[in-house]
Amino acid sequence: MIEALLVMALGAVLLGAALGYAAVRFRVEGDPLVEKIDAILPQTQCGQCGFPGCKPYATAIAKGEAEINQCPPGGEEGIHKLADLLGREFKPLSAEHGIEKPKSVAIIDEQACIGCTLCIQACPVDAIVGAAKQMHTVVAAQCTGCELCVAPCPVDCIRMEAIQETVDTWKWKYPVIKLRQAA
Amino acid sequence: MTSYLFIVLGAVLVNNVVFVRILGLCPFMGVSKKLETALGMGAATTFVLTMACGASFVIDRWLLIPNHLEYLRTLSFIVTIAAIVQLTELVIQKTSPLLHQVLGIYLPLITTNCAVLGIPLLNVSLRHNFLESLLFGFGSAVGFTLALILFAGIRERLEAADVPIHFRGTAIAMITAGLMSLAFMGFAGLDKYK
Amino acid sequence: MIAKLFKFKGGVKPDSHKDVSAAAPIRVAPLPSHLIIPLRQSARAMARCLVQPGQTVLKGEMIAAAEGPLCTAVHAPTSGTVRAIAPQPVPHPSGLPAPSIIIDPDGLERWIERRPFDYRCVPAQETRNYLRDCGVVGLGGAGFPSHVKLGPGEKGIETLILNGAECEPWITCDDRLMRERADGILAGASIMRHIAGARRILVGIEDNKPQAIASMRAAVQRLGEADIEVVAVPTRYPAGGEKQLIRVLTGIEIPFGKLGTHFGVQCFNVGSAHAVFRAIAHGEPLISRVLTLSGNMAHPGNFEALIGTPIRELLPLAEPRTDTDRYLMGGPMMGVALLSLDTPVIKGTNCILAGSPALFPPPPPEMPCIRCGECAKVCPAELQPFELYWFSRARIFGKAQEYSLFDCIECGCCSYVCPSRIPLVDYFRFAKGEIWAREKEKAAADIARERYELRLAREEREKAEKAAKLAA
């Protein structure tokens, strides 16, 4: 009995020492996983996931504190990609965080704008230009469509508009063969 | 010399650890979705299994048998394997963070991979010497890797196939594995050509 | 003389149907009631509009200027008044509207002052800029700016190839152009050779156009310059593909991601050469082109139409038959359906094909792929279309890219031979579009991330400064 305990204890101490050494020798700085997750997220910075931005959400996923289905702008495809990366099961988008919408941009009604700068402070990517008591406008190319500027506007002059397809952004559709009615 | 060759060849093909012995199915189904993952997992398992066979032989022959502690075999083997797996994980995390992410949970799970525990135990019951143990472990791991790579190749194509809805996912993977298992039965007569 | 011709792999031999439209000489289309000139003529970039509604313009006046490296200028095709600048449907597979200038012709055809450009006395760069301001783009269909292609590139250009292969069935506009205006084409080629500093000129023409070959050879004799050769290439679709023609004439196989210029070869459509000639020798910008009206028509033929002529006004010239149910832009192999007849002729429009249920029956339903490999046999890019199809269909785009999806030239050979009638090219176009869209999205996300991080850093700094001020 004593022998058995001794043998096991000896083994445990030896292996523990080896692992302890290895842990110091092969220490990894930072978490490369966060970068990988962040690369998949759409960078809308909308905060619909419940975190203040895409990076914090990525960190939370990497730590296992958040589910992968909390990002409405990323949509089903984003969840699939995250599931693939992390080897987790696919889950449908969680309804409490929002629904998948067509990509849109914010548009300021420049006639109604009073120049309060509240939307400028809300914009996570600095896509709104203007100054106090001056008209504001959205730089459409930089706008991520996060909708964070809509709520702070005291005169409700900001609306979201879905991006229309143009000759530049048009894509060939998935080939569909029309079924014909049998005669 | 031939007997050593046949230990390896037999472990790889005739008694393939996945398809014939039906061991280690968890990582086999779990990490065979992509070819690169399968390769990484195969390499990690090969390393762990070869090391585990060597270490377990030493422990069994020089520690357990002299002290009449054979009843501690499973326990001590598991502890050894766990330590080796931990070591491998640390090394992979350092050298290839990408592979570490991709393998994810399956890397620590090598510890409880029945193939990794099964092969050292088989070594004991087959009364292999040290070199034979190492070769048997290595051969089995190569067989495992082979199975994983073949299966990953098939699954990558399967992903694009028109599978009837009720068979999608794991179901069709199981059917495929069964067919491959049948195919590996074909190696059964290989030792006739000794 | 060229010792031997080379071969490209694959290809098909569809019925050419060229006789129906090749016999009659090019006719000049009458002035239409209005002209719609899209600001985007050179595929990749939009020109900057220079006119206002109500303004009077002269024939050949620049109405939009080139902006950016891949852009060319746009000119008024006739004299008249600018009616509006508004989005109009353009001949694009989407049928979506794009910004265009609408001109009401005054019927007087008053030209701007035209002066020949003395390209021999100025640096090549100046001539290239002149061509850009004359709006010269490739007339083969893709509309790539010619001045860019004439640039020095990495190694300079050794061989200039004129593409007169015209391999698509039904289309005969290049054939007629070579028969009737061979001297102009060769004069243009000679100018291009001067600009690009090339040594020799090869003209590749499919051997089913003997009159065009004879006419071009006679023109070479008349021009009397050295190192110009007219080569008859075997008739096999797609011999007129740029990479395929270069392969046949020079034996050079251009790998993925490289251009002809990397190997000292540059390829131009014969129509582009003629446009260069008009621009340099006569000071006329590119405002008209020859196009084929064929298919289900009573009087098919070739017409010289002004850029911007609405297709609806062009069709009566060839009298489409009454059972015509749809129109194609381009040939039957690569062409796309024309969604609206109000779209104008643009610089890349080489053919309008009328279809009827009898002539071009609607495609039969797609059947499962039986992996016969016929598509791989005929693929001129030496791809495996059945693999590309397998992955494109299942939207596994990464794998499709691994099988070199982007080497596909969308020639349509695979769809043509497929016994299961799978519209393979449609799948490849779909997959390419999705991959491009994803890349664009990724680029936008990267910019957003960067801007977000900059903002965070700025907020951090402001907070620190405020704290420092409080502490002081």
Considering only CB atoms, A170 lies closest to which of C96, C441, C456, namely C96
Contacts of C118 by beta carbon, 8 Å cutoff, 6+ apart: none
Residue A30 has pLDDT above 70, yes or no: no
Interatomic CA distance for residues C468 and C462, integer angstroms: 10
* Percentage above 70 pLDDT, chain A: 94
Q: What is the pLDDT of residue C152?
A: 75
Characterize C154-193 residue by residue with b for buried, 16 or more Cβ atoms within 10 angstroms of its Cβ, and e for exposed.
eeebbbbbbbbbbbbbbbbbbbbbbbbbbbbbbbbbbbbb
All residue ranges of chain B with pLDDT < 70 are 101-102, 104-105, 191-194
Neighbours of chain B (3+ CB pairs under 8 A): A, C
Say whether A36 and B91 touch across the interface (CB within 8 A): no
Q: What would the mean pLDDT of C70-95 be, rounded to a whole number?
A: 90
Residues C375-415 have pLDDT tens digits of: 999 999 999 999 999 999 988 898 899 999 999 999 999 99
DSSP at C59: B
- As a 3-state breakdown, chain A gives helix, strand, coil percent values, each rounded to 5, of 35, 10, 60
Is C433 in Cβ contact with A45 (below 8 Å)? no
Domains and CATH numbers, chain A: 32-97 (1.10.15.40), 102-163 (3.30.70.20)
Which residue of chain B is at minimal alpha-carbon distance from A34?
Answer: B101
Chains with at least 3 CB pairs less than 8 angstroms from chain A: B, C
Q: How far is the alpha carbon of B160 from chain C, nearest alpha carbon, in Å? A: 5
pTM of the model: 0.85
pLDDT at C230: 92
For C5-15, what is the mean pLDDT?
87
The domains of chain B are located at 7-188
Residue B145, pLDDT score: 93
- C219: helix, strand or coil: helix
Are A86 and B94 a contacting pair at CB < 8 A?
no
Contact C390 B160 (CB under 8 A): yes
Q: How far is B48 from chain A (nearest CA, A)?
A: 15
For range C159-167, the mean pLDDT = 90
Q: Domains in chain C, please, with CATH?
A: 19-26+121-288 (3.40.50.11540), 366-472 (no CATH)
- Taking only the tens place, the pLDDT of each residue in C43-54 is 668 889 999 999
Q: For position C185, what pLDDT does the model report?
A: 93
Q: How far is B111 from B119, CA to CA, in rounded Å?
A: 13
Whether residue A111 has pLDDT greater than 80: yes
**Does C146 score more than 70 pLDDT?**
yes
How are beta strands C97-105 and C80-89 bridged, if at all? Answer: antiparallel
ipTM confidence score: 0.81
Got the DSSP string for B108-143? Answer: GGGGG-HHHHHHHHHHHHTT--HHHHHHHHHHHHHH
Smallest CA-to-CA distance from C287 within C46, C119, C97, C103 is with C103
Q: What percent of chain C has pLDDT over 70?
A: 99
Q: What is the pLDDT of residue A179?
A: 61
